[in-house]
Structure 1
Amino acid sequence: MPRRKTTASASASVWDAVPDVVQAEKLLTETEERLRALPDAPSPEQARQAVIDAAVDAMRTDGAPIPADIGERASAAHTAALAPYAERLALHTAVNALRRRMPFLKSRGSRVVLEALAAQLDDVLSEVRAIVERSGRLEDGDTAEEAGDEALTDYRRLKALLRVEADIRKTQRSVYAEIGDPGVLADLYSRGHEQFRDVPTMRPDEGGSPFRGTVANALPDHVQEVVSGRRRRDVRFLLYAAESGRAWLPIDVEELTEVSREAEDVGTPDDGANPLGLRESTNIFRG
């Protein structure tokens, strides 16, 4: 059976595939709307005190005696404020509870989302390999034009697939951001661990760059420049991802945890500075 052709980017609503998250987000939205719709209301204690303060102020400024039924008035104000205050308190407590539960639900459901993204990435890279087999390595428009109309069409498709791949990676990171430690994730991203397998722990070369060197399995310079944010994604990057066999999208938190542990043994340059600003923690996902 031929592989389906990738024509769309990753869904913006990545959590739609996780029913527990969908239900919790719906409840959270509805509860927040109810809370916002409530009018401002004093607490029972504030309502009771307001009646007492008003009577005392009238006595001090106008010489009016404290009403004989001041206790009943204060008590009635207190009682009248109980229901609206309790409603606001209940909704506020519910919103906080749902917000605290959301990371757990997303962490538990993240595998489903990441599996879907990994399948999309696999489709993209498979189509890229098919294009390379048909038209060769079309790294730029000039090469495509020289190769003919079919190659030019394939090059346009490669550029479209590049946008899809970038969107998949963006969505992947948005999922990790919901359940991972931002600092440790940034360390992993700077070397491309979430995009490529077997990325070595790099030491600075003599020029002081933390990304270049002669370490086995090091990513090509132009690829490392992309993952480190110093260069924009291009078709050349996409071709490497498809042809190298190293591109991946980790769907198990333990996989990235292992990467984090391996990334600890970075070494330091002679001046003792840590070129990548690594943290000591090895747990990149909040439990």
Structure 2
Amino acid sequence: MPRRKATPAPVSVWDAVPDVVQAETLLKETQERLRALPPSPSPEQAQQEVVDAAVTAMRTEGAPIPSDIGERAAAAHVSALARYAERIALQTAVSSLQRRMPFLKSRGAKTVLTSLSAQLDEILAEVRVITGRSGRLVNGDAALAAGDPGVADYRRLGELVGAVDEIRSAQRAVYSETGDIGVLSTLYREGHDQFRGVRSEPLPADVLDVIRGQKPRGVPFLLFMADSGRAWLPVDVEELTEEARDAEDAGVPDDGRSTYWQRATTVADPPAPRPDHF
């Protein structure tokens, strides 16, 4: 029976959100049109250039101001108006699309993350099938000891590690568009975006090394993900911060300063009053 390959990550994490795809396409096309416009003066500049040329000719050559100077200046103004208006329209469109993009991505983020979460679950299910068939293939030696099927399974585990890398990268790309970078960095360092319950049940040191970027993700890490039953992919930033907040068990901030939880701060008791000395 042929092996099922992991669903590849999309070229853009937003490909599954039609509104974002449409807006990004329009933005790109509009920016290209704007860049393609040739340099052109504003209507006021074009009008002034006609006036300045007539005045210069009068001053240097003694030529009188043309009797139709008003018509000439007005014609230059009108001629420049269409090109100038087109530039203004395209600039306004680009600005509007750029301002709208965060809203569209925020609205579509859950769709993307839900899809990525499903892909991750499929990968972990396949890892469990492999370990059930060939055992814990933590390295090449274990794979060789398991024979040709073990070698093939170990190779497949390596492919799945790459798929998890892509999923986690896409996951964080989505979070970065919808959450506070400073808060997210703290959550990433503690592993909340990859495992549940990291406070109540601390992660092993070698797993933390991978989470913190000190070691690459490898087959042993993948096996830990599958075995622990704690690996997950929060489908929005709110779910991620809620997990961290529950783990911290420090209440919900009520001052509106941050969506992150507050840590308790110990304040020393004031010193006991001393009698005044006269």
Secondary structure, counterpart of 2:231 in structure 1: coil
- For residues 117 and 245 of structure 2, what CA distance do their matches in structure 1 show? 23
Amino acid in structure 1 at the alignment position of 2:20:
V
* Superposition deviation, residue 16 in structure 1: 2.1
* Count of aligned pairs between the two proteins: 254
Secondary structure, counterpart of 2:65 in structure 1: coil
Q: C-alpha deviations, 1:67-98, integer Å up to 9, x for none?
A: 22222211111111111111111111011111
* Superposition deviation, residue 282 in structure 1: 2.2
2:222 to 238, 242, 261: 238
Equivalence map 1:8-47=2 (5 Å): 8-47=7-46
Secondary structure, counterpart of 1:237 in structure 2: helix
Equivalence map 1:189-268=2 (5 Å): 189-200=188-199, 216-259=200-243, 261=245
Q: C-alpha deviations, 1:201-235, integer Å up to 9, x for none?
A: xxxxxxxxxxxxxxx41111011011111111111
Q: C-alpha deviations, 1:83-115, integer Å up to 9, x for none?
A: 111111111101111111111111101111111
The question of 1:182 aligning with 2:181 is answered: yes
Match of 1:151 in 2: 150
Structure 1 unmatched runs, 5+: 201-215, 267-279
Structure 2 length-normalised TM: 0.84
Equivalence map 1:79-90=2 (5 Å): 79-90=78-89
Match of 2:264 in 1: none
- For residues 196 and 62 of structure 1, what CA distance do their matches in structure 2 show? 83
* Superposition deviation, residue 238 in structure 1: 0.5
Secondary structure, counterpart of 1:40 in structure 2: coil
Q: In 2, are the aligned partners of 1:260 and 1:282 still within 8 Å (CA)?
A: no
- For residues 83 and 126 of structure 1, what CA distance do their matches in structure 2 show? 61
Match of 2:62 in 1: 63
Which sits farther off after the overlay, 167-176 or 49-58? 49-58
Q: In 1, are the aligned partners of 2:7 and 2:119 still within 8 Å (CA)?
A: no
Match of 2:161 in 1: 162
Amino acid in structure 2 at the alignment position of 1:113:
V
Q: In 1, are the aligned partners of 2:46 and 2:76 still within 8 Å (CA)?
A: yes
Structure 2 unmatched runs, 5+: 251-256, 262-278
- For residues 68 and 37 of structure 2, what CA distance do their matches in structure 1 show? 31
Secondary structure, counterpart of 2:15 in structure 1: helix
Name the Cα RMSD after superposition: 2.2
- For residues 197 and 59 of structure 1, what CA distance do their matches in structure 2 show? 83
Amino acid in structure 1 at the alignment position of 2:55:
V
Amino acid in structure 1 at the alignment position of 2:147:
G
Match of 1:128 in 2: 127
Secondary structure, counterpart of 2:14 in structure 1: helix
Q: In 2, are the aligned partners of 1:117 and 1:168 still within 8 Å (CA)?
A: yes
Match of 1:281 in 2: 258
Q: In 2, are the aligned partners of 1:125 and 1:242 still within 8 Å (CA)?
A: yes
| Aligned residues with identical type, % of pairs | 63
Secondary structure, counterpart of 1:233 in structure 2: coil
Secondary structure, counterpart of 1:196 in structure 2: coil
In 2 relative to 1, CA 33–283 (structure 1 residues): closer, same or farther, beyond 3 Å? Answer: farther
The question of 1:101 aligning with 2:103 is answered: no
Structure 1 length-normalised TM: 0.82
Which sits farther off after the overlay, 26-35 or 187-196? 26-35
Q: In 2, are the aligned partners of 1:225 and 1:231 still within 8 Å (CA)?
A: yes
